[in-house]
Amino acid sequence: MKWKQIPLGQLQTNCYLIIDENNSCLIVDPGDNPKKLTSIIEQHELKPEAILLTHAHFDHIGAVDRIRDKYAIKVYIHERERDWLADPALNGSRHFMMKEMITARPAENLITDEGEMSIGNFSFSVYETPGHSPGSISIYFPDDNFVLAGDALFHGSIGRTDLPGGNHNQLIKSIHDRLLVLPEETEVLPGHGPSTTIGYEMDTNPFLNGF
């Protein structure tokens, strides 16, 4: 299993393509620039299977509808944020007073619990990691040793908690209980910035002192 990081939009939100040996792919957090994203997918002759959202903030969902329609694929999101796609007040685009409010149609599939999940030939684990937002999830591929952490954990930092539904103590608990228990060599693919590892963040992240 391979992954490709594609920063998109003004906030350079990381979209990820998770690619199997047959060139099928999962699209995680298509936040903006659908033309750029489509061009990369076509260039690598990939076959999109689904869109997975780590959470529903505007910078992670801006290209959802255009990519969903282009490839006739379905969207997965945690049920706690089922209404956020259509609501600029919840997804944050109204909070940032953007010229254009960001919305998307409802997701076809709601993630209701943690555990093993499969889409096509892709198998992975879903962990609930709220705190940055109520329905934030992390997506762990144990056989390939990486986790998509959304905006929970970054290289040297953690997600902000001053947006609707944010909770600092809950985020710290999520990181401690769901992410730092993974093998230290696990690569962390965050929603912004460069990748890191669980071990590196345990040793150096100033927000995680004492863990």
Which secondary-structure segment (H or E) carries 91?
A: helix 88-91
Cβ–Cβ under 8 Å, residues 91 and 106: no
Q: What beta strand segments (E) does 82-207 contain?
A: 109-111, 115-119, 122-128, 137-141, 146-150, 153-154, 157-158, 187-190, 196-197
What's residue 111's pLDDT? 98
Tell me the β-bridge partners of 117. Answer: 124
Neighbours of 35 (CB within 10 A): 9
> Backbone phi, then psi, for 42, in 5-degree steps?
-70, -40
Q: Where are the alpha helices (DSSP H) in 100-190?
A: 168-174
Task: Return per-residue pLDDT of the chain as tens, 211 residues.
Answer: 999 999 999 899 999 999 999 999 999 999 999 999 999 999 999 999 999 999 999 999 999 999 999 999 999 999 999 999 999 999 988 877 566 789 999 999 999 999 999 999 999 999 999 999 999 999 999 999 999 999 999 999 999 999 889 999 999 999 999 999 999 999 999 999 999 999 999 999 999 976 5
What is d(CA 79, CA 53) in angstroms, rounded to the nearest whole number? 11
What is d(CA 180, CA 153) in angstroms, rounded to the nearest whole number? 10
What is d(CA 51, CA 73) in angstroms, rounded to the nearest whole number? 7
